Amino acid sequence: MKDTNWSLYLITEENLSQGRTSLEVVKKAVAGGVDAVQLRDKSLSVRERYSLGLKLKEFTASRGVKLIINDRVDLAQALDADGVHLGQDDLPLKEARAILGPDKIIGITATELKAAQKAEKEGADYLGVGSVFKSNSKKVAAFKAGIGTAGINKLRKELSLPITAIGGIQTANAAEVIKAGADNIAVISALSQAEDIQKSAQEFRKIIVKAKKEREV
């Protein structure tokens, strides 16, 4: 199993960043404790994402932070990123693994148990699960609805893969998500739209670490 032992996972989306660039957001978030970054920014062209990815790779590598690329296996390969995150409509896991090799991280979005079990069987390194709560970050009805902490707990009981929870998670509800069985939390607007990104990341990190300790008692 590759190193997916992160706590706070930032997904970049510049059009939700209050006029700040994704690189600016990432730098402040990492200073506050983010230990994994996913390059999403779907409003950018592939070439623009590649250019941004080069800057993010240089920065994250210097800080020991994982860089994951959303959807695009070709970009992940070109950037020599730490891995890729794939949705259910993206390149199949088997083909992505053949391209990227055995050492790269491959995460799979899987909220339904059947899809999650399939991803685990095929060798995914972690699952992206959500939306946990109502969210407007993605224009998808199923994502906006929210599976709640009960949905996280149900998957946790059936799976051994690390679970990254996403969707509508704020500092006020992060602890209950971790206690329900999530291994880490992914956020977009909760950090990118924060007035003080570094401070918000620090608060998230503190809550996550505390919740993990309480869960183990």
Q: Is 58 part of a structural domain of the chain?
A: yes
Q: Model's pTM, two decimal places?
A: 0.95
Q: Is 181 part of a structural domain of the chain?
A: yes
Q: Is 3 part of a structural domain of the chain?
A: no
Number of domains present in the structure of the chain: 1
| 109-123 mean pLDDT | 96
Nearest by Cα to 64 from 6, 141, 144:
6
Q: Is 1 part of a structural domain of the chain?
A: no
Residues of the domain holding 171: 8-216
Q: Is 100 part of a structural domain of the chain?
A: yes
pLDDT of residue 1: 57
* Gap between the Cα atoms of 155 and 152, Å rounded: 5
Q: From the annotation, which residues make up the binding site for Mg(2+)? A: 71, 90
pLDDT of residue 134: 86
Whether the CA torsion 95, 100, 103, 109 is positive or negative: it is: negative
More confident residue, 142 or 146: 146
* Gap between the Cα atoms of 95 and 208, Å rounded: 34
pLDDT of residue 137: 65
* Gap between the Cα atoms of 12 and 190, Å rounded: 11
Q: Is 119 part of a structural domain of the chain?
A: yes
Q: From the annotation, which residues make up the binding site? A: 38-42, 70-71, 90, 109, 135-138, 168, 188-189
- Cα end-to-end span (Å), the chain: 25
Quick count: other Cβ atoms within 10 Å of Cβ 184? 22
Look up the CATH number of the domain holding residue 142: 3.20.20.70
Per the CB < 8 A criterion, the answer to whether 73 and 96 are in contact is: yes
Q: Is 2 part of a structural domain of the chain?
A: no
Tokens of 158: 């059936």
pLDDT of residue 144: 56
Return mean pLDDT, the chain: 95
**pLDDT-derived band at 7, boundaries 50, 70, 90:** very high
Q: Is 101 part of a structural domain of the chain?
A: yes
* Gap between the Cα atoms of 205 and 173, Å rounded: 13
| 25-30 mean pLDDT | 99
pLDDT of residue 217: 77
